[in-house]
Amino acid sequence: MNAEPERLVVGRVSGVYGVKGFVRVFSEMEPRGAIAGFPRLWMQRGGDWQSIELEDGRAHGRGVVLKFRGTDDREAAHGLIGCTLAVERDWLPLLEEGEFYWADLQGLDVETMDGIPLGRIDSFMQTGANDVMVVRGDREHLVPWVRGLYVLDVDLDARRVRVDWDPDF
């Protein structure tokens, strides 16, 4: 029996684009248009995942437009709105030492350099200057992802990130 591949969510279908079956996609990849570089994606519809081929795609404004095989008109594209898009982890490029995919960091415990727990990484936000960790615990902390300044240590095995951060801030 084959194990299910590990899938990482990379976007969501947010609308239709034109009349030829293209959809607007909110891409969670960086750069956003990188989602169009995969020959196929996984699409979740109503809880079930299916593999789907990409025919065309490109960055468009702040988002991305994609065309899936078999989706040839606006009505068919409309039926995809709300679907989640994912890739298999094995399809992603290997990272350099000290680099991480956000998906690997979400859910990790965050504590100060003094061992005071702040909560868990819930998500990340992109800002103009740097990415920001959204840490949820007793309260929400927005900690800039700046290695060596605020982010002191990332230990994936221990599922912990140590930060130089005031717990009252």
| Domain regions of the chain by residue span | 7-90, 102-163
Candidates 3.90.400.10, 3.40.710.10, 2.40.30.60, 1.10.10.10; correct CATH number of 7-90? 2.40.30.60
The yes or no reply on domain 102-163 and CATH 3.40.1010.10 is: no
The pLDDT, as a whole number, for residue 93 is 87
Kindly give the pairing relationship between strand 22-27 and strand 140-144.
unpaired
- Give 26-85 pLDDT, tens digit per residue: 998 888 899 999 999 999 988 899 999 999 999 998 889 999 999 999 999 999 999 999
User: Using CA atoms, how far apart are residues 123 and 139, in angstroms rounded to an integer?
Assistant: 14
In this chain, the answer to whether the domains covering 7-90 and 102-163 adopt an identical fold is: no
Tallying the residues shown for the chain, one arrives at: 169
Q: Of the ranges 94-98, 112-116, 118-122, which one carries the lowest mean pLDDT score?
A: 94-98
Question: Torsions phi, psi of 119, nearest 5?
Answer: 140, -150
- Decide which of 121 and 103 is more confident: 121
Cβ pair 143, 151 in contact under 8 A = yes
